[in-house]
Structures are given as C-alpha cells and as structure tokens.
C-alpha cells in the first residue's frame, strides 16, 4: 500500500463523514424528541451529570459507560447537555471508529477494505445520529483490536495489557463485548503463532494444536484477558445475571436461527466483494457436484433445518413494535406462512458459504515480527474464532436484533478482501477488479445508509399513546 493510497483512503473517509453529519443535523431538527430507547438513556445521563450516581432506571439493561463518557465530554468541553448535543457525541464516536479503522488499515499491506466503507456500515450508521450505546460500544472494541494489530513497543505482554484494559472499558458499554475480548485474545495468540511460523495453513488439528501450544507457552499474554474474564464473572455473580435491568425480558435463550440472519445480513451488505457469475457456479460445484460437498451437506443441511425449525424465537416485543425493521422482516418473510421460514434456508446456506469462502480465499495481509507481510490475517484458527464468537454474541438473545451483528460485520470486513474473480470475463473488469469492487462497496453501503436515513426522516406515523411522530430504525 502506497502513501498516496493511504492518503486517498483518509480523504474519502473524511468525505464520507460529511453527509452523515448533515443527516445528524436533519435528525436533530425533525426528531427533536427522545426516541424509543432514548427515553431511558437521556434521562439517565442527565442524572449522572447532575451528580446523582445512585438512581438507576430499572429498564436499562446495559452498564453506564456511555453515560460517564458523555458526562466527561460535557464537562471537559463545557457542552450543554441537550439531546442534540448528546446525539452529536455519537457522531464523534463514528469519527473515532473510522480513525481506528484507518490505523488498522495502515498496518495492513494491500488492505481489502476501505475506511469509508467501514464507517458507512448500514447496521450502525443511523446510530451516529441517536443517543444509543451501539456506536461507542463498537468503537472501543475496534480500538482494542487496533492495539493487537499494531503491538505497541513490539511487546506481546504490553500489547495484551493495553488491549485487555480497553476491552474491560468496552464492557462498561455493553456486556456482550466480553465475547469479543475472547476474540481479541485469540487474535493475539494467533499472531504469536504466525510470528513463530507454527502454522501449516491446512484445515485440521495441526494448526489448532499449534495455537493451543502457543497460548500455553506464552501464558503471560493470556493473564490480562483472564483478569477481564474474572471481573466479568464477578459482575454477573453480583448482579444476578448479565442484563443490568429488565432481566425478565432478557433471559438467555438458544436462538440459533439468529446466526442465519446474521450471515445473511453480512452476505447482503458485502455483495460487491463477491458478486460474479462464477461465484454461483462455484457454489453449486463446491456443495452439490462433488462427493466432499455432498457428504458435508448431508450433515450441514439437516443442522440448518433444525436451527430454523427448533431454534427460531419470535419474541412478542418484535411483533408489538412497528418502529423496527425486524417487525416487517418477521411478518413478511419469516412468519408470512407456516412454511416461509423454511423457504429462506437456501439463502442462509448460500450466505454461510460466502462468509466461509471469503475467509478462506480472500484474507487480508498483516505484518509479522520482522515486518514481512504474508496473507495470513484470517487463518483457519481465526475463522473458527470468528464463527464461535459471532455465534455466542447473537444466538443467546431471544430478540431478533440486527444491532448484535455490527461487530461480526466489522470484523468480517477487517479480515477479508474482495474476490479476485471479476464480475464478468471482460478484460477491463479483470484489470481493475479490486478497485471496481472497492468503489462498488462504498456506493452500495452509501445506498443502504442513505435509504435508512431517508426512511427514518420521511416515513412517519402516529401511535395513540405517544404524541410525537414515530419512525423506523433497526
């Protein structure tokens, strides 16, 4: 990656923040009232700014990290605690997120992502303009990963201490970030194993054993993360559960179908990276036109069917609130008929295949300890760690909640790059394949982000018991 390419990425990312800033101003003007969860978050913030640290709204499920960080921002910069100003703080969180992505990109040779595309994540972008926890909860985790990638002072133990400390801070924004702390530790051990050339990069137990041996041999780098884990266990024990409030509506439940939803969202939003005529041919060949694929799918397809049949949860909250896209997705796709949930199985199957294919064949390139670069960012170990952490993050909640897919989407993009196969077998498309896909991804995500904002701003309706206009978000 040349200096000019890095500067271009920074400039494009900076430009990408400008329309979001305008949308944030439009939201402040047209929706100048507390919207959905803001009726809990904003009053809680005002109590903390007034110095009331003991009163807690029992409907709030997440820790107070966002409130304390916002209160610090308000006091240090003498910013009045208005709803508009506090929403702007989340916009600044988006700018911080893109800054962390730029840092990661600078450490990646031939990076397969652009910072602008990560910033315009359609699952996250609307929350740059609302006072929700999602932006900072995600940005702090990405900051911890940036530390893992950069390895300050070229010292693994110090890297572990700093990244684990940031991970601990991320838990004060959202409890499920404990899962991504496990992922960060896996990334650190994986990086150490690569530095020592222990991987054969073959699918099997050999690389897994090398990964385990590396973790045991360098156990000191695990200690800071173990401390974070113990602190989290202590919190859960003291609190009597993971959710801080409203525990009766947030009981852990096996919701395996949500992993299918997550993979489908990722495949949809990354379509410019993989779409081509040949990918569909390869999908058929890999899965149904060879013995290995047939044997694999003889087990995998029944598992998918069981995930859909026995582990689909239709939470009453989802069907009771038409201010969320999930209301419309569930009604029009999942429960439209008695069999409609099963009709989606081919789309789920294809989405899992796309995620696996890009991880396997299109990994980004990260430096080793000698600053040499190899295409090893997404080793088989990291693919397994990614799928495990994604499953743990999304399948234990009874709610169909696309916001849980934000970090799975971000890490997927940080680890993968566009396919080398052109859209069509045309010389111009072959020659500029990667650039075309980068531009296509930015435009595709901008289309979705703009659509989400326009729906929020233009599609309004009334509820009988709430005087303000209602709108639609994730």
pTM confidence score = 0.94
Residue 294: burial class (beta carbons within 10 Å; 0-12, 13-18, 19+): exposed
- Express each pLDDT in 59-111 by its tens digit: 999 999 999 999 999 999 999 999 999 999 999 999 999 999 999 999 887 78
Tokens of 69: 């960080």
* DSSP-derived secondary structure for 377-407: TT-HHHHHHHHHHHHHHHSS-SS--GGGGHH
Q: What is the 3-state secondary structure (H, E, C) of 123-189?
A: CCHHHHHCCCCHHHHHHHHHHHHHHHHHCHHHCHHHHHHHHHHHHHHHHCCCCCHHHHHHHHHHHHH
- Express each pLDDT in 217-271 by its tens digit: 999 999 999 999 999 999 999 988 888 887 777 788 899 999 999 999 999 999 9
Least confident range from 152-161, 381-390, 396-405, 419-428: namely 419-428
> How far apart are the C-alpha atoms of 6 and 12, rounded to whole Å?
10
- Sequence-distant (≥ 6) Cβ neighbours of residue 386 within 8 angstroms: 183, 359, 378, 408, 411, 412, 415
> How far apart are the C-alpha atoms of 165 and 162, rounded to whole Å?
5
Range 280-284, long-range pairs (CB < 8 A, 24+ positions): 282/357, 283/350, 283/353
> How far apart are the C-alpha atoms of 430 and 58, rounded to whole Å?
57
Tokens of 279: 């990918």
Tokens of 73: 């921002």
Helix, strand, coil shares of the chain as percentages rounded to 5?
70, 5, 30
Output the CA–CA distances (angstroms, integers) from residue 12 to 25, 32, 307, in the order listed.
21, 30, 41
Looking at residues 177-187, what average pLDDT do you find? 97
Looking at residues 379-383, what average pLDDT do you find? 85
**CA–CA–CA angle 459, 408, 276 (5° rounding):** 80
pLDDT of residue 375: 44
Looking at residues 39-64, what average pLDDT do you find? 94
Is the Cβ–Cβ distance between 399 and 317 less than 8 Å? yes
Least confident range from 386-390, 409-413, 431-435, 445-449: namely 431-435
- Express each pLDDT in 354-379 by its tens digit: 999 998 876 655 555 555 544 455 67
Nearest to 312 by CA among 295, 285, 330: 330
Three-class SS of residue 22?
helix
Looking at residues 202-206, what average pLDDT do you find? 69
Q: Which residues pair with 365 in a beta bridge?
A: 109
């Amino acid at each position: 990656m040349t200096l000019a390419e890095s500067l271009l990425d920074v400039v494009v990312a900076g430009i990408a923040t400008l329309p979001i800033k305008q949308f944030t101003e439009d939201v402040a003007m047209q929706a100048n009232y507390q919207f959905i969860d803001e009726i809990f978050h904003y009053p809680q913030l005002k109590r903390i700014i007034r110095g009331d640290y003991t009163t807690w709204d029992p409907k709030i499920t997440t820790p107070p990290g966002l409130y304390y960080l916002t209160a610090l921002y308000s006091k240090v910069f003498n910013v009045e605690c208005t709803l508009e100003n506090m929403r702007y703080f989340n916009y600044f969180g988006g700018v911080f997120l893109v800054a962390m992505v730029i840092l990661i990109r600078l450490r990646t040779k031939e990076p397969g992502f652009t910072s602008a595309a990560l910033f315009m994540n359609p699952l996250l972008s609307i929350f740059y303009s609302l006072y929700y926890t999602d932006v900072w909860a995600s940005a702090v985790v990405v900051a911890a990963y940036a530390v893992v990638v950069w390895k300050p002072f070229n010292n693994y133990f110090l890297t572990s201490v700093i990244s684990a400390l940031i991970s601990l801070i991320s838990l004060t924004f959202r409890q499920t970030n404990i899962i991504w702390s496990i992922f960060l530790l896996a990334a650190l051990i994986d990086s150490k194993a690569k530095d020592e050339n222990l991987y054969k990069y073959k699918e099997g137990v050999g690389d897994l054993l090398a990964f385990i041996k590396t973790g045991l041999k360098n156990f000191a780098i695990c200690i800071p993360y173990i401390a974070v884990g113990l602190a989290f266990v202590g919190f859960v024990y003291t609190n009597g559960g993971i959710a801080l409030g409203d525990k009766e509506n947030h009981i852990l439940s096996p919701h395996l179908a949500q992993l299918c939803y997550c993979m489908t969202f990722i495949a949809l939003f990354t379509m410019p990276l993989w779409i081509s005529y040949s990918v569909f041919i390869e999908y058929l060949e890999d899965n149904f036109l060879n013995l290995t694929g047939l044997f694999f799918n003889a087990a995998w397809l029944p598992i998918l069917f069981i995930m859909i049949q026995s582990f689909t949860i239709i939470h009453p909250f989802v069907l009771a609130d038409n201010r969320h896209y999930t209301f419309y997705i569930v009604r029009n796709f999942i429960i439209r008929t008695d069999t409609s949930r099963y009709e989606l199985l081919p789309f789920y199957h294809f989405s899992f295949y796309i995620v696996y294919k890009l991880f396997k064949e299109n990994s980004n390139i990260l430096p080793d300890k000698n600053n040499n670069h190899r295409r090893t960012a997404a080793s088989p170990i990291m693919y397994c760690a990614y799928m495990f952490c994604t499953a743990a993050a999304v399948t234990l909640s009874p709610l169909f909640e696309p916001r849980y897919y934000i970090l799975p989407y971000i890490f997927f993009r940080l680890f993968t790059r566009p396919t080398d196969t052109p859209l069509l077998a045309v010389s111009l498309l072959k020659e500029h394949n990667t650039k075309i896909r980068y531009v296509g991804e930015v435009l595709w995500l901008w289309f979705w982000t703009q659509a989400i904002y326009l729906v929020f701003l233009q599609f309004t309706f009334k509820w009988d018991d709430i005087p303000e206009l209602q709108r639609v978000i994730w």
